[in-house]
Amino acid sequence: MGLGTVAITGAAGTIGSVLREALRDEAERLVLIDRVPLPPAPPAAERAAGARPVAAAGNEEVRTADLRDAAAVEAALAGADAVLHLGGLPDEAPLPELLDTNVLGTHHVLEAARRRGIHRVVLAGSNRVTGFCPVGRPTGPREPVRPDGLYGVSKVAVEALGRLYADKFGLSVLCLRIGSFERAPTEPRHLATWLSHRDAVGYVRAALTAPPTPGFTAVYAVSANTRRFWELPGPAELDYTPVDDAETHAAGIPGADRAPDPAAPQGGPYARPEFTLPHLPHPPGLPSPEARP
């Protein structure tokens, strides 16, 4: 199955930039959506000389839209065969901001897909929806969610919206619980959670080309790491087998030789109170959240 016309929200972001580069030659057309205008692409001669292409080259079209604006999102998705929804706040933040951008923004994308007749939607989920599961127990998408922070809570809501639109309106929604997206692992936790650029492209390509059967599926998008604690998807869930292993980088990572506490949370530092406390409300006259027990 070909890619056809794929709309990518959050196309200017870190993951969006990598996936856009990889999918450019495979899609009939890429519609690049972000809330900030993307800069123009280098001329063909400069690209051939090694300049990094950034936007609107060949079969690409740039559209500016804020995910919080339902009408703008629906207009931006015109003509798309599938949507790769990467836009949103990528880390811990106050809950109202996360709800406004991640949850409401995803609602607008799914509703626009329903109204436009776009049956395949790929959502950027997060491994942090189960960040409080222990590292010593293999975890699959059927485990109860245990978010490690407010960001994780917003991604739980994203998955719930995806399932609702699949169950109620017949959309084909696949949510990728993305691991640690890095060029190379740089810390001990990455030895379990790393998602290489190559494997990220493989997961997304498989998600976009799978037959758009109505329903919702969540899978962990993680490389084939020897130390991983997330289950890899089976062929019935997503027909992609990752190829990279963080273990090949272990020798250069300080602390890689120390075995983790099996009871420790998979979220690592994201599960610590101090990671979330600065983002909690601070009403006037009350102690700061950091000072509370």
The pLDDT value recorded for residue 40 is 52
Instruction: With beta carbons less than 8 A apart as the criterion, state whether 63 and 31 touch.
Output: yes
The pLDDT value recorded for residue 212 is 87
Q: How far apart are CA 249 and CA 215, in angstroms?
A: 37
The pLDDT value recorded for residue 39 is 63
Look at 30-44, 45-59, 116-130 and tell me which has the smallest mean pLDDT: 45-59
Q: Report the chain's mean pLDDT, rounded to a whole number.
A: 92
Q: How far apart are CA 293 and CA 290, in angstroms?
A: 8
In the chain, the percentage of residues whose pLDDT exceeds 70 is 90
CATH of the domain at 46: 3.40.50.720
pLDDT of 256 over the 90 cut:
yes
pLDDT higher at 94 or 211:
94
Q: Is the dihedral of CA 161, 144, 140, 259 positive or negative?
A: positive
- φ, ψ for residue 120 (rounded to 5)? -105, 120
pLDDT of 54 over the 60 cut:
no
- The total of structural domains in the chain comes to 1
Q: How far apart are CA 72 and CA 75, in angstroms?
A: 5
pLDDT grade for 181, boundaries at 50, 70 and 90 = very high
Catalogue the active-site residues.
Answer: 151
* pTM as predicted: 0.91
The pLDDT value recorded for residue 57 is 58
The pLDDT value recorded for residue 283 is 76
The pLDDT value recorded for residue 230 is 98
Following DSSP, what letter does each residue of 235-283 receive, concatenated? Answer: TTT--------GGGGGGGSTTTTSPPPTTSBTTGGGGSHHHHGGGS---
Helix (H, G, I), strand (E, B) or coil at 200: helix
- φ, ψ for residue 205 (rounded to 5)? -60, -45
The pLDDT value recorded for residue 292 is 53
The pLDDT value recorded for residue 1 is 56
The arithmetic mean of pLDDT across residues 22-47, rounded, is 77
The arithmetic mean of pLDDT across residues 139-145, rounded, is 97
**Residue-range definition of the domain harbouring residue 156:** 5-291
By 3-state DSSP, what share of the chain in percent is helix, strand and coil, each rounded to 5? 35, 15, 45
